[in-house]
Amino acid sequence: MKLNDVAVIVLAAGASSRFGSVKQIADLDGKPFIEHILVKLQSAGFTRLHVVTGANHSVITPVLPQAVSVVFNENWESGMAGSIGCGVKSAIAQANDICGVLIVLSDQPGISAKHYRLLGESLFKGKNIRAAATAYGDSAGVPAAFSRSLFPQLIDLQGERGAQQLIRQLGNKVKILPTDSRLDDIDTLDDYKQFLDRK
């Protein structure tokens, strides 16, 4: 198994209402946030990249590389879980032989290519490991990788919490990975300014 057997689902369907403009295309060193994230994923070794759009589909799509598959979630207002389901379905439709998915947020530009790679590689290590998630203090969340056996559960997720509930349910079948990466969620203009100031 290799990382190109793992499809990446980048979630970019939200309305960015707290940010005041489309945060996925906010500038970072002359490039949109989302482009930085996609470049890191490619440098980590992932080749099957899917971006789930929604509220700002017409603005985000033009800045995406041609190699990226764009998945439009027409029900984006239903929450993050629906976007995950759309992404998983698209990944399966394009390549039914994939062995897992890596779910990534489009507003965490500080996460390193190394961390993405370690999450993906964790799916191939240990018989009982069904997922790998990022440590957030006493909890865990995305970015997170999930094995093929979990595709039905990912497709059936409900609500805004996304995959966090599934990660909790899996217990010791999830490998929790700490990281030196910056895990800032860029939700507001103040978040954005603080991220740039500390970069």
CATH number of the domain at 165, please.
3.90.550.10
CB 8, CB 102: distance < 8 Å: yes
Provide mean pLDDT across the span 162-181.
89
- Domain total for the chain? 1
Q: Which amino acid is at 53?
A: T
Supply the pLDDT for residue 16. Answer: 86
- When comparing pLDDT for 1 and 128, which is higher? 128
Over residues 123-133, the mean pLDDT reads: 88
pLDDT exceeds cutoff 90 at 103: yes
pLDDT tens-digit map of 148-163: 999 999 999 887 777 8
Rounded mean pLDDT, 60-70:
92
Q: Is the pLDDT of residue 199 over 70?
A: no
User: Residue 6: is it exposed, middle or buried by C-beta count within 10 angstroms (0-12/13-18/19+)?
Assistant: buried
| Mean pLDDT score, 107-124 | 93
Q: Give the per-residue pLDDT at 124.
A: 86
Side chain identity at 82, as an amino acid letter?
G
Among left, alpha and beta (phi > 0; psi -120 to 50; other), residue 33 is alpha
Kindly indicate the confidence band of residue 1, based on its pLDDT and cuts at 50, 70 and 90. low
- Expressed as residue numbers, the domain containing 119 is 3-198
The pLDDT of residue 174 is above 80: yes
Q: Per the structure block, which two tokens stand in for 143?
A: 């970015």
pTM for this entry = 0.94
Give the pLDDT band of residue 177 (cuts 50, 70, 90): very high
Question: Residue 20 has what pLDDT?
Answer: 84
Terminal alpha carbon distance of the chain: 35
